[in-house]
């Protein structure tokens, strides 16, 4: 839209939507949303007008600049238009993860003193109702999906978003030009969004991000990897995640990217196939899921297809290893690789919806080198992004010709990174947040002389690529002094299709040990093929045959680890680690300290002499029931 990148930095995100509307109006698609199986298209004019009437609607209800609106929505047109409407009139948006429990919702709303709440549907509204008495600042709940909400309208605490937009239209009649003047007054350095941090050690903090923070970061990303006008992106990650924020709430205004919202989160992978995006961003769980699906499908295929796939993968790996070692690829190998792409990898990528993909990113946590190598062998240009919520989500990434499996790439333009004497990664760029919301002491701890202290340990390699080892507090040493990264070991384990999560231990202890979660779907299929009966996750995970299966997977991982930091013992957890039980963050990161404390009896068993431990505990089901469980957990020793 502007030839000079610096011009963008003088605008707010809503001002850029107004500019796009002036430029394209109804001619170009800004957002698509799938409803009842049909893709609905919204132009830049639709986007701008809905943003406008939402903003005027809440102004008519007494909203004031710098007040906060909480949001717990799905990925949809109304989420983006309402968020931009809040920011257009000088308000602050604060998105909450859709999977959050009422206690977490209460924390965000109380902390920010939010005055309105935008909720997707009855399920999310009911969570807000549960904490209604604890968040008296909320004056009204605005809901998007009216299904099941008729009875709620007897209480004027609730309002349907269409009714709010009508209020905005009426308000404009009495206040012509007010919205346009309010938008013009916005400054790029104004705080516009309150973003939840990952919260790996405690409840998440809330980072204050400005329009300039987002715009600078997007411009830096585009400078590395240009996005073309009308390229497609499928928005299915939580709106509360900062990665989804910059991809959806800012990238379209600057690049012309078209956002595609699935019918439901559960249908996102099917909708991905229909759209075939050019650009994709997802945390490791997404890529691990793709990998598991492929491996399971190959396992279920005929022996001839398995043989062909394995031969093609060998060729793909040979090409990839040469490319990233910057060695020449011989002509015969190039021809073989083109043949494998034609007969195997192009159809496979098309089946996954990745055929048009030019670039794909992973971020939020480390993705193991094995996973990178796998996708590049398939022809997926997957890159690692490193950053924090406080730096607007991106500080490094791989340029196309500089991809290294073991690194997160060099700093993006306009970003400086240094390593402290303690080995901590510290970042400085124009995308750094203004601080934690109403937490000056925490802000002071995080910022030192303009540098963000990431809490991550790392170093630069000889090519200027950043290598992230682990969290500073998570880097461990066994009692003999050898250092190891639990995250590195966990990623190696999770490359197995049978393992969905792992937690490694060993700091100050004689050896490395691990908790392992099996993948219920994959291991369940494995068991069914062998006519192995089971009823529940607990039942399946404690089968001796499953223990033998995972034993072989751990043994294979040990061949890739230094002898002194091999996994010596492991247990198969009787339940899946869950964010609702505070064992994972809402972005899927392991809360290592919490897990170590909660399952201390299992950790003790890993360093004892017994080959099993009896467990008495309670398990909470999705319907809220608490069931007392008594079982015996096997302790597997790799030295047996």
Q: What is the SS3 assignment for 232-266? A: EEECCCCCCCHHHHHHHHCHHHHHCCEEEECCCHH
pLDDT at 341: 93
Structural Rg of the chain based on CA atoms? 25
Q: Are strands 38-43 and 29-35 parallel, antiparallel or unpaired?
A: antiparallel
pLDDT at 200: 58
pLDDT tens digits along 322-337: 988 889 999 999 999 9
Domain 477-637 has CATH 1.10.3720.10: no
pLDDT tens digits along 163-207: 999 999 999 999 999 999 999 999 999 999 999 987 655 678 999
Bridge partners of 617, per DSSP, are 629
Question: pLDDT below 70 — which residues of the chain?
Answer: 199-202, 619-624, 640
CA distance 272 to 233: 9
CATH architecture of 5-278: 3-Layer(aba) Sandwich (3.40)
pLDDT at 252: 96
Q: Are 170 and 54 in contact (CB under 8 A)?
A: no
* Count of beta carbons in the 10 Å neighbourhood of residue 560: 13
Q: Are 361 and 280 in contact (CB under 8 A)?
A: yes
Closest C-alpha among 579, 592, 632 to residue 610: 632
pLDDT at 93: 98
CATH architecture of 284-355+357-471: 3-Layer(aba) Sandwich (3.40)
Tokens of 595: 């897990």
CA distance 137 to 130: 15
Q: Are strands 424-428 and 435-436 parallel, antiparallel or unpaired?
A: unpaired
Tokens of 108: 């965000």
pLDDT at 265: 78
Per-residue DSSP letters for 570-624?
Answer: EEE-SS---GGGTSB-TTS-B-HHHHHHHTHHHHHHHTSS-SEEEEEEEEE-TTS
The shares of helix, strand and coil residues in the chain, as percent rounded to the nearest 5, are 45, 20, 35
Q: Where are the domains of the chain?
A: 5-278, 284-355+357-471, 477-637
The burial of 523, by beta-carbon neighbours within 10 Å (0-12 exposed, 13-18 middle, 19 or more buried), is given as buried
Q: Are 101 and 108 in contact (CB under 8 A)?
A: no
CA distance 361 to 120: 28
pLDDT at 296: 83
CA angle 395, 401, 403 (to 5 degrees): 55
pLDDT at 371: 87
Are both 5-278 and 284-355+357-471 of the same fold? yes
pLDDT at 419: 95
SS3 assignment, position 29: strand
pLDDT at 266: 78
């Amino acid at each position: 839209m502007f030839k000079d990148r610096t011009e963008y930095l003088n605008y707010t995100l809503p001002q850029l939507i107004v500019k796009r509307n002036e430029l394209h109006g109804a001619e170009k698609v800004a957002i698509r949303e799938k409803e009842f199986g049909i893709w609905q298209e919204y132009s830049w004019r639709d986007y701008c007008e809905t943003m406008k009437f939402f903003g005027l609607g809440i102004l008519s209800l007494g909203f004031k600049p710098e007040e906060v609106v909480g949001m717990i929505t799905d990925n949809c047109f109304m989420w983006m238009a309402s968020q931009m409407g809040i920011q257009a009139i000088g308000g602050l948006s604060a998105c909450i993860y859709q999977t959050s429990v009422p206690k977490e919702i209460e924390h965000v709303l109380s902390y920010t003193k939010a005055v309105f709440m935008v909720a997707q549907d009855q399920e999310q509204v009911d969570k807000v109702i549960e904490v209604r008495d604890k968040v008296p600042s909320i004056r009204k709940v605005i809901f998007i999906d009216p299904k099941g909400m008729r009875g709620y309208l007897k209480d004027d605490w609730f309002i349907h978003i269409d009714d709010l937009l009508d209020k905005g239209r009426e308000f404009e009649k009495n206040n012509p030009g007010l919205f346009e003047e309010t938008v013009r007054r916005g400054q790029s350095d104004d705080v516009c969004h309150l973003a939840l941090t990952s919260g790996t050690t405690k409840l998440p903090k809330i980072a204050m991000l400005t329009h300039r923070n987002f715009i600078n970061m997007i411009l830096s990303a585009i400078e590395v990897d240009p996005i073309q006008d009308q390229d497609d992106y499928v928005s299915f990650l939580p709106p509360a995640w900062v990665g989804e924020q910059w991809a959806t709430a800012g990238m379209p205004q600057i690049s012309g990217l078209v956002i595609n919202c699935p019918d439901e989160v559960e249908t996102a992978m099917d909708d991905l196939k229909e759209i075939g995006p050019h650009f994709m961003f997802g945390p490791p769980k997404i890529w691990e899921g793709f990998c598991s699906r492929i491996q399971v499908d190959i396992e279920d295929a005929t022996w001839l297809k398995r043989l062909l796939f394995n031969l093609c993968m060998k060729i793909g790996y040979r090409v990839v290893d040469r490319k990233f070692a910057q060695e020449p690829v011989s002509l015969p190998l190039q021809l073989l690789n083109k043949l494998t792409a034609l007969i195997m990898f192009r159809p496979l990528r098309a089946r996954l919806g990745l055929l048009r993909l030019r670039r794909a990113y992973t971020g939020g946590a480390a993705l193991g080198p094995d996973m990178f190598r796998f996708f590049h062998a398939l022809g997926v240009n997957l890159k690692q992004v490193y950053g924090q919520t406080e730096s607007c989500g991106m500080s490094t990434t791989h340029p196309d010709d500089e991809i290294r499996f073991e690194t997160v790439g060099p700093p993006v333009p306009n970003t400086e990174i240094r390593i402290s004497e303690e080995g901590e990664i510290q970042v400085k760029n124009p995308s750094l947040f203004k601080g934690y919301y109403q937490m000056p002491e925490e802000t002071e701890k995080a910022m030192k002389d303009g540098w963000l202290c990431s809490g991550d340990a790392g170093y630069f390699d000889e090519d200027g690529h950043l290598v992230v080892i682990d969290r500073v507090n998570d880097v461990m040493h066994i009692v003999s002094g050898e250092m190891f990264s639990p995250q590195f070991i966990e990623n190696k384990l999770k490359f197995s299709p049978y393992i969905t999560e792992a937690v490694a231990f060993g700091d100050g202890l004689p050896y490395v040990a691990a908790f392992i979660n099996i993948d219920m779907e994959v291991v369940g299929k494995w068991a069914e093929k062998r006519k192995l009966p089971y009823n529940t996750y607990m039942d399946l995970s404690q089968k001796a045959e499953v223990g033998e299966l995972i034993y072989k997977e751990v043994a294979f991982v040990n061949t890739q680890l230094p002898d002194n930091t091999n996994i010596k013992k492991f247990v198969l957890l009787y339940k899946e680690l869950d964010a609702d039980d505070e064992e994972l963050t809402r972005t899927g990161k392991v809360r290592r300290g919490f897990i170590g404390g909660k399952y201390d009896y299992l950790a003790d068993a890993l360093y004892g002499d017994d080959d099993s431990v009896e467990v008495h505990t309670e398990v909470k089901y999705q319907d809220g029931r608490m069931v007392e469980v008594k079982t015996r957990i096997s302790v597997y020793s790799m030295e047996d």
